[in-house]
Amino acid sequence: MVGSMRISLFITCYNDTLFPETGRAVVRLLERLGVEVEFRPAQTCCGQMHANTGFRGEAFSQAKRFVKLYADAETIVIPSSSCVAMIRDQYPGLIAELGNDALRREFESLLPRVHELSEFLVDKLGAEDVGAYFPHRVTYHASCHGLRALLLGDRPFRLLKHVRGLELANLDNVDRCCGFGGTFSVKNAEVSSAMLTAKLQDLQSTRAEFCTALDNSCLMHLGGAMHREFAAMRTIHMAEILASTEAAPAEALA
């Protein structure tokens, strides 16, 4: 495996605040694979929430901030598909609209160095077997941004397939949204909940103990409903599964 690689972790605002265990797992996993991890404490948010809710002006400021902060970073790894999609799909339009040529050049040189976690593992490290151990029945929720914006394809499955002890359960309607959609979940809470109910039915019929994904925003939505309904299933970010070993099991199992 590649030894001398150095990455900068963009943890994202909600992982930082609500799911620090995902960040800790990313650090543990990457360091185990010989990658040096740095964390720039000046980071905050990519601007996705503002952009998708219609606060374009505000999203401009986050985009500028992100580009400035990581201009000199070798590789940026982000354990959240939707934030990567924000940077890939929406930043170009935002930055073009700002009309700042220097910023545009900085962004264009930065963009190829921005990777979602599974992309980084499979494409950059060439690591499908990350030496993980997770003896549980797991189903994979392909979050919409990972599936359709990033086109992650079979990368997540290739990673999960090599986890020892893990039994992968097939999920029906894997391409269907869980109903989160950021502020959609509160602006259209009823429709969002109806979508969630449909997704939970598919999830529960897998009889998996864990539902995993590469985006904690979907998992917060699904996990919130599972907890409310006393479902026999929990959510766990894939980074935590991949970081898990016999000696150091996932924090969720503690």
The correct pick among 35, 84, 179, 233 for binding other proteins (CB under 8 A) is: 179
Specify the pairing of strand 114-116 against strand 167-169. Answer: unpaired
Q: Which stretch binds other proteins (CB under 8 A): 121-129, 163-171, 223-231, 241-249?
A: 223-231
DSSP β-bridge partners for residue 139: 169, 211
25 binds other proteins (CB under 8 A): no
Residue 47 CA to residue 35 CA, distance in Å, equals 27
| DSSP character string of 33-82 | TT-EEE--TT----SHHHHHHT-HHHHHHHHHHHHHHHTT-S-EEES-HH
Q: How far is the CB of 89 from other proteins (least distance, A)?
A: 8
252 binds other proteins (CB under 8 A): no
Partners of 248 in the beta sheet? none
The minimum distance between CB 247 and other proteins, in angstroms, equals 18
| Of the residues 1, 2, 54, 105, which one makes contact with other proteins according to CB under 8 A | 54
Determine, following the binding rule CB under 8 A, whether residue 62 of this chain makes contact with other proteins. yes
Size of the site for other proteins (CB under 8 A): 67
What amino acid is encoded at 211 in this protein?
C
Separation CA 125–CA 242 (nearest Å)? 14
Instruction: Report CA torsion sign: 219, 226, 176, 138.
Output: positive
Structure tokens at 65: 């901030």
- Interface with other proteins by CB under 8 A: which range of 44-52, 107-115, 130-138, 201-209? 44-52
Q: Distance between CA 35 and CA 38 in Å, rounded?
A: 10
CA distance 211 to 233: 7
Q: Tell me whether residue 36 or residue 129 sits nearer to other proteins (CB atom).
A: 36
Binding positions for other proteins, 138-157, rule CB under 8 A? 144-145, 148-149
CB of 241 to other proteins, least distance (A): 18
Could you tell me the smallest distance in angstroms from the CB atom of residue 169 to other proteins? Answer: 21
79 binds other proteins (CB under 8 A): no
Among 5, 32, 53, 167, binds other proteins (CB under 8 A): 53
Indicate the pairing of strand 210-213 with strand 167-169: unpaired
By the rule CB under 8 A, 15 interacts with other proteins = yes
- What are the residues whose beta carbons fall under 8 Å from the beta carbon of 98, sequence distance 6 or more? 60, 64, 104
134 binds other proteins per the rule CB under 8 A: no
Q: What residue ranges bind other proteins (CB under 8 A)?
A: 11, 13, 15-21, 23-24, 27, 39, 41-45, 47, 49-56, 58, 61-62, 65, 89-90, 93, 144-145, 148-149, 175-177, 179-196, 198, 220-221, 223-225, 227-228
